[in-house]
Structure 1
Amino acid sequence: MGERKGQNLYYPPDYDPKVGGLNKFQGTHALRERARKLHMGILIIRFEMPYNIWCDGCNNHIGMGVRYNAEKKKVGMYYSTPIYQFRMKCHLCDNHFEIKTDPGNLDYVIVSGARRQENRWDPTENEQIVPETKETQKRLFDDAMFRLEHKTSDESTSKQDKPRLGKLVGRNETVWKDDYEANCSLRRNFRKRRKELEEAAVNDGFLLAKSSLDINLLPESEEDKNLASLLALRPSRSIEESQNAVRSKILNSPALPSSSGLITSFGGLKKEESLSKSTPLSRNALGITIKRKNLSSKENTTDSKLNNAANNINGKQDVELNNDIKSNDNKLDNNLGNIPKTNGAISLVCDYSSSGESSN
């Protein structure tokens, strides 16, 4: 709308046609703000980025087609073609970059403030059809033999590439014969992938909010899960590992649970401590039997240690037990059978029968 201000149909009463025009009479330019630096040879234009670049100020990517208000000025000549330079400010930071035209190569060149993203290649390496150079066109126009050779080489190249082109055309017809179904398949895959990305974004948002973090999360993998479980001191196991652990636990545990408790060593002998200290120890209650054969002096010493221990725990009942053992050795042998003696140690056997049965 700014350009139309000097072109309206309203002429003020004091307008003088001798001035030369309405813009000159009002002291304005037809381009308005775009011509504010025209006295310096600079014109403000709308410039469109010709290719992808990286800004040197903020290192952000600026895509091809992004438009800027650029200062255009003439910086030289290529034969009779002027060379223009454009200066613009990055929309993401305060950095300015300059780009100028290159008529010799039909391209744009970055002067400062940015760097180009290299996506260029030689089209002849990809077997693309490229226009002829000016030198080749000139020889085709002037040299008849070169034109004939060029035509023959083009025909041989077309014959060689005909089978490959036929395969490509056939594949294209197979894939896009039913264009509606092909389009539906592409859109279906796109929707599926979009839902996965949306779910991942929601889960990442919850995790970042819970952890009070502001970082970009990468997709998780099975290795990451195992490492996280190890850091949490909860190592993850597979089904096979869990089954093997349960199987080994069953094999290593005893078949029948023992109520006798721990087995401790006392004076070179092993005895079982099953009952609490509050339970009185007696021959009828515990069913403890001792067989002694040909006791030596060492055995007598061991027997006295056992007696002292029993006296300390049970008091008078253990004294009676010790007296009964010393006086009734033969009777105990007949009731309990032969109990082997190993290395001069006395075997202690715990009878799980009731007191009435043990007394009988």
Structure 2
Amino acid sequence: MGERKGTNLYYPPDYDPRAGGLNKFLGTHALRERARKLHMGILIIRFEMPYNIWCNGCGNHIGMGVRYNAEKTKIGMYYSTPLYQFRMKCHLCDNHFEIKTDPANLDYVIVSGARRQENRWDPKQNEQVVPETKEVSCRLYDDAMYKLEHGIEDKKVAKSRDSALEGAIALNESIWKDDYSSNCAVRALFREKKKELKKKQTEDHALLKKTGLDIDIVNEHEDDIRLAKLLTHKRDARKKGSTALKRLVSIVRSKNKKKILFLNDRLKLQNHESPKVQEVISKPTTSKVNDSNASLVNYDSSSSDSNT
């Protein structure tokens, strides 16, 4: 704050930077009037009322959140936390009241000049959720078994309060019943169903126009859907069977074709080798025939000689 105020200010001609800054050179403080009692250990701040109070001077009510210019003073220490006291004047009278901090209970305490408006109660009396103390929080952090037991107890308490919570909800619904909201919910549901019926009628009309039929189309039933799926499954199975049979026939045909080609190749090979085979086979056959013919000639000549 002081640095912001010290920016772009007028520096007199006799300003000496060795003074340590413009505030020191002029003998002023960065907080101006708020630091006028700083030599007494008092700093003036804006204090906001932490809760509702009653002023002892005029008896008027001062609400939580009202702001005052308060004198802040350090009055002691709570372990390593400083204790501060705030003194302020009532805006409705000349009475002054003092409030100090209470770090042990995380609260503010009225010292003099006012009294607190009591709106405090024990949360356990009206079954509210009570924040854990520091001891319990530390034990939950350090002890795993205690944390587990604590969670089980919380679940038991939650189950025991379910019936009471449901009863309170039912009571509120019966007392604070909102007919307008119920009517809106019913009308929204009716609109959705009407849209579905209109869409179905459009689809049925398109189907009748496509098929050229003049009949009433009834709603689908689960049995009809199941039967249609079975028929579709059988048709697909037949298609798959016929496809497999065609494939098997094509495989057999391809194998037979390969076999026929192999036999043709063998026949061609035999036709190429046949002249040599005939030459080898024809020689003994020719000699046998010639020998038989010679014997026949010799037999004929001998027989002719004997006759003569």
User: What TM-score do the two structures reach when normalised by structure 2?
Assistant: 0.53
Kept after mapping to 2: 8 A contact 1:51/1:63: yes
Structure 2: distance between partners of 1:177 and 1:8: 63
Q: Which residue of 2 aligns with 1:42?
A: 42
In structure 2, the residue matched to 1:338 is none
One-letter identity of the residue aligned with 1:76: G
SS at 1:165 equivalent: helix
Task: Check 1:128–1:23 CA distance in 2 against 1; reply closer, same or farther (3 A cut).
Answer: same
Distance in 2, matches of 1:140 and 1:4, equals 47
Q: Is the 8 A contact 1:3 1:31 kept in 2?
A: no
What are the equivalent positions in structure 2 for 1:76-115 lying under 5 Å apart?
76-115=76-115
In 1, the alpha carbon distance for the partners of 2:94 and 2:147 equals 56
What's the CA shift for 1:9? 4.2
Q: Which residue of 2 aligns with 1:155?
A: 155
Could you tell me which runs of 5 or more consecutive residues in structure 2 were left unpaired when the two chains were aligned: 185-308
1:193-342 to structure 2, matched below 5 A, reads: none
Deviation at 1:117, TM superposition (A): 1.0
Counterpart of 1:70 in 2: which secondary structure?
Answer: strand
One-letter amino acid of the counterpart of residue 65, structure 2: G
1:167 Cα deviation from its structure 2 partner: 4.7
Tell whether the 8 Å contact from 1:78 to 1:103 is kept in structure 2 after alignment: yes
The equivalent of 1:32 in structure 2 is 32
Between the aligned partners of 1:3 and 1:142, the Cα distance in structure 2 is 46
CA displacement, residues 248-283 of structure 1 (integer Å, 9 cap, x when unaligned): xxxxxxxxxxxxxxxxxxxxxxxxxxxxxxxxxxxx
1:124 is the counterpart of 2:124: yes
Specify whether residues 38 and 159 from structure 1 end up closer, same or farther in structure 2 by C-alpha distance, changes over 3 A only.
Answer: same
2:52 matches 1:52: yes
The whole-number CA distance in structure 2 between the counterparts of 1:33 and 1:154 is: 55
Task: Name the CA distance, whole Å, in 2 between partners of 1:126 and 1:114.
Answer: 29
Structure 2 vs 1, CA of residues 169 and 113 (structure 1 numbering), >3 Å: closer, same or farther?
Answer: same
Q: Deviations over 1:98-130 (max 9, x none)?
A: 000000000000111111111101112222222
Distance (Å, rounded) in 2 between the aligned partners of 1:148 and 1:81: 34
Aligned to 1:345: none
Structure 1, 41-50 or 158-167: larger mean CA deviation? 158-167
- Contact 1:3 1:32 (C-alpha < 8 Å) held by counterparts: no
Q: What amino acid maps onto 1:77 in structure 2?
A: M
Offset of residue 169 of structure 1: 5.2
Rate the CA distance shift 1:31–1:106 in 2: closer, same or farther, 3 A.
same
Task: Indicate how the Cα distance of structure 1 residues 13 and 117 shifts in structure 2: closer, same or farther if over 3 A, else same.
Answer: same
Distance change >3 Å, CA 87–CA 12, structure 1 → 2: same
- Larger helix proportion, structure 1 or 2? 2
- The SS at the match of 1:47 is strand
1:24 partner SS: helix
3-state DSSP of counterpart to 2:13? coil
Let me know the Cα RMSD of the aligned residues: 2.8
> What SS does the corresponding residue of 2:145 show, helix, strand or coil?
helix
Evaluate the alpha carbon distance shift between residue 71 and residue 131 of structure 1 in structure 2; reply closer, same or farther with a 3 A threshold: same
CA distance in 2, matches of 1:41, 1:148: 51
State the secondary structure of the residue aligned to 2:10. coil
Secondary structure class of the residue paired with 2:29? coil
Output the CA distance in 2 between the equivalents of 1:169 and 1:11: 71
Give 1:92 shift: 1.2
Partner of 1:349: none
Rounded to whole Å, the distance in 1 between the matches of 2:117 and 2:68 is 19
Distance in 2, matches of 1:176 and 1:79, equals 60
Structure 1: unaligned runs, 5 residues or longer: 182-360
Q: Name the larger-Rg structure.
A: 2
1:220-268 alpha-carbon deviations (Å, 9 max, x no partner) = xxxxxxxxxxxxxxxxxxxxxxxxxxxxxxxxxxxxxxxxxxxxxxxxx
Aligned to 2:71: 71
Q: What is the CA-CA distance between 1:3 and the residue it aligns to?
A: 8.6
Q: SS of the counterpart of 2:71?
A: strand
State the distance in 2 between where 1:142 and 1:36 align. 50
Q: 1:5 to 1:153 in 2, by over 3 A?
A: closer
Q: Hey, which bits of structure 1, 4+ residues long, moved more than 6 A?
A: none
SS of 1:7's equivalent?
coil
User: Structure 2 counterpart of 1:92, which letter?
Assistant: L
Q: Quote the offset at 1:174 in angstroms.
A: 5.2
Q: Is the 8 A contact 1:46 1:68 kept in 2?
A: yes
Give the whole-Å Cα distance in 2 for the aligned partners of 1:176 and 1:74. Answer: 60
Query: What are the residue-to-residue correspondences of 1:131-142 with 2, within 5 Å?
Result: 131-142=131-142
In structure 2, C-alpha distance between the alignment counterparts of 1:175 and 1:8, rounded to whole Å: 63
> How many aligned residue pairs are there?
180
CA spacing shift, 1:44–1:54, aligned 2, 3 Å: same
